[in-house]
A and B are shown apart, each in its own frame.
Chain A
Amino acid sequence: MTTAAAPSSAEVRPLRKLYRSSEGRWLGGVARGLAGHLGLPVSWVRLVFLVLFFTSGLGALLYAVFWFVVPLGAGGVDSAPRAAKTAKSGKTSRRPDKGKIFAVVVVIAALVALSENLQFGSANAYVWPLLLMGIGVAVVWRQADNARRAHWTEVSRRKRLLPLARSAAGAILVGAGVTGFVVIQGSGRQLGSVLQASLAVLVGIGLLAGPYLVRMTQDLSEERLMRIRAQERAEVAAHVHDSVLHTLTLIQRSSENPREVARLARAQERELRAWLYKGAKGTSKDEEEAPQTLAEAVKATAAEVEDHHGVPVEVVCVGDCPLDEKTTAQVQSAREAMVNAAKYGGEGGAVQVFAEVEGLTVFVSVRDRGPGFDPASVPADRMGVRESIIGRMVRNGGKAEVRSAPGEGTEVVLEMERAQS
């Protein structure tokens, strides 16, 4: 059954491992997983299993082997029918669906039929203990299966009791099976001593294997830790490579242009800083995201102006508030002020921006150390400051003031009462 369909779908997905399907399965997801792997319809595989089942239970054995050996995964038939099926069964996955119940009923019926039809003769007595043990082992193995599934679906389960109960049930079943053996084989009187002996053996094995097991788990967790660290280091290296090294290269290339160098270095510093300090808090904010608060908006604006004009802009923010219409207008006015400061006052050093939110009052000051000017001497037809800074503030119910004197730099002060929130 591998001949026809497998190569065609193997072209599409070159590297495939056999997984049991975790979705839309009836029992262990073996049939679905196999079907996905071989590129056959699920019903065919199920039919094959069913047919094999009636040839002295070979199908069941095969199915069991697959169930135990093949890991649960995201394999399976991932064509349209499966997608439709998972979408449908996704909501009802808590409850066993009809298919599952049907499969279990069929298996039980087949087992009963099998046990009645087959003649074990004297060995008949061993069947039930064996079956018990088998079920016990299966129950415990299912546990690993569940753990794996939980790992796959990343669902944190609150039921701690269930796995414990399952383990206990499995152990009891196996114990019962063993006891059954013993009872059948010998007389019940020896049961006690046999149990004692087996207990002793178990404890002995535990003592022997314990240290190895402990060391193995320790090694495993250590290895995991190392892997996480290596991953982090790789991430840092990647970031440094992507941003810092590139910037340094650019700086070397444009070393004859000090303004450009300074701009690059500052942009890089700001980016690295943001990455270092924001990354530590675990909030990887999308950089494209528009700022939501005043402080963020002021900082973003300052960064923009800094990049654009190649003049350092130092921002100090005290307090914060959400952006609304009024504060947005204020930030826009501040932006104009920053641009002016960078253009005309940038020679005197960094532009200093101070934003404070105190109660309902929002205060922004933009200061440069440039040559300054006499505000009274500005001709009336110059609209820059008057319209885009003072005018905008007044229209939105705030006030703006430009303080400047020749030789003392310029400070633009913006005040706004923000809306009651």
Chain B
Amino acid sequence: MSDEQERRARVVLVDDHRMFRAGVQAEIGQTATTGIEVVGEAGDVDQAVTVITATRPDVVLLDVHLPGGGGVEVLRRSAALMAGPEQPVRFLALSVSDAAEDVIGVIRGGARGYVTKTITGTDLVNAVFRVADGDAVFSPRLAGFVLDAFASTDAPPVDEDLDRLTQREREVLRLIARGYAYKEIAKQLFISVKTVESHVSAVLRKLQLSNRHELTRWATARRLV
């Protein structure tokens, strides 16, 4: 996003490993070069909720495994901040775990994206700004999980159409899973980047909505819930 002028984002880091927080802060938390300002840090669920409520950041980088209930608990207790009338707080899950239950869990909890800790600094900065703008951030792995979740049902019942992925959304996800950037997806499918982003957001919304349908079935089949 270096091509855009003076972008700023206030970020809270939630991770129980101090070393890791320091590392992320060193990599992205330099206002001058990245436009990201780390306004708070927390090491467990209680701290996180306090800090997030006090600072109202644009984006929370949230670890999935935390003492006190994990990232899902933080999301649950911050639900009001995500839906409030003011500028909403957005959550981006940042985890070392790429287990399906962790990923799907925080996405259903309301996180706007999920990236693993192997992500590069540049990509992470981009992801933070995208989430701050209200878009969803999908790593290839997350796209894979989502496809897996929705692929298990082949014959869609008519009335569940709302919660199913459209052909286009699947295409977009598939390209994400193959490692394409949004720009490349747009080029490949002859659509605008904005359209790609809206497809991805729609997927995310459906993912959060569809716990009644495929996802529940999928998760129960794998004994994840």
Contacts and interface: CB of A to CB of B under 8 A. Distances in A.
Contacts of A367: 178-180
Contacts of B199: none
B191 interface: no
**Contact count band on B:** 10 to 19
A316 B103 CA distance: 14
B178 A354 contact: yes
Nearest to B188: A403
A352 B178 contact: yes
A354 B143 CA distance: 10
Which of A354, A356, A367 has the most chain B CB atoms inside 10 A of its CB? A354
B186 interface: no
B120 A316 contact: no
A411 B177 contact: no
Contact of B140 (A277, A314, A358): A314
Contact of A349 (B120, B144, B148, B178): B120
A22 interface: no
A316 B143 CA distance: 9
Interface in B140-194: 140-141, 143-144, 147-148, 151, 154, 174, 177-180, 184
A134 interface: no
A358 B178 contact: no
Given A354-B179, A411-B178, A277 B99 contact: yes
A356 B176 CA distance: 13
Contacts of B120: 349
Which of A277, A312, A356, A369 has the most chain B CB atoms inside 10 A of its CB? A356
Contacts of A406: none
A206 interface: no
A316 B145 CA distance: 8
B151 A318 contact: yes
Interface string A163-188: 00000000000000000000000000
Contacts of B118: 312, 350
Interface in B89-143: 99, 118, 120, 140-141, 143
Contacts of A350: 118
Interface string A229-255: 000000000000000000000000000
B177 A354 contact: yes
A301 interface: no
Contact of B177 (A312, A316, A358, A359): A316
Interface in A332-377: 349-350, 352, 354, 356, 358-359, 365, 367, 369
A316 B151 contact: no
Given A354-B179, A367-B179, A316 B99 contact: no
Contacts of B148: 318-319
A137 interface: no
Nearest to B184: A408
Contacts of A318: 144, 147-148, 151, 177
Interface in B43-76: none
A411 B151 CA distance: 24
Contact of A356 (B99, B141, B174, B180): B174
Nearest to B174: A356
Contacts of B147: 318, 356
A264 interface: no
Given A316-B177, A349-B120, A367-B179, A358 B143 contact: no
B69 to A, nearest CB: 19
Nearest to A319: B151
A354 B99 contact: no
Interface in A45-64: none
Nearest to B150: A318
B151 A358 contact: yes
A411 B178 CA distance: 9
A267 interface: no
Given A318-B148, A349-B120, A359-B154, A365 B178 contact: yes
A317 B144 contact: yes
Contacts of B140: 314, 316, 352, 354
Interface string A307-336: 000001010111100000000000000000
Interface in A377-421: 408, 411
Contacts of B144: 316-318, 354
A358 B148 CA distance: 10
Contacts of B180: 367
Which of B99, B177, B178, B179 has the most chain A CB atoms inside 10 A of its CB? B179
Contacts of A408: 184
A66 to B, nearest CB: 51
Contacts of A349: 120
Contacts of B99: 277
A411 B185 CA distance: 14
Interface of B: 99, 118, 120, 140-141, 143-144, 147-148, 151, 154, 174, 177-180, 184
Sorted nearest first, the 4 A-B pairs with minimum C-beta distance are A352-B179, A316-B144, A354-B178, A318-B147
Given A316-B140, A316-B144, A354-B140, 6 more contacts: A349-B120, A352-B140, A352-B179, A354-B144, A356-B147, A356-B177
5 contacts: A277-B99, A312-B118, A318-B144, A356-B174, A369-B179
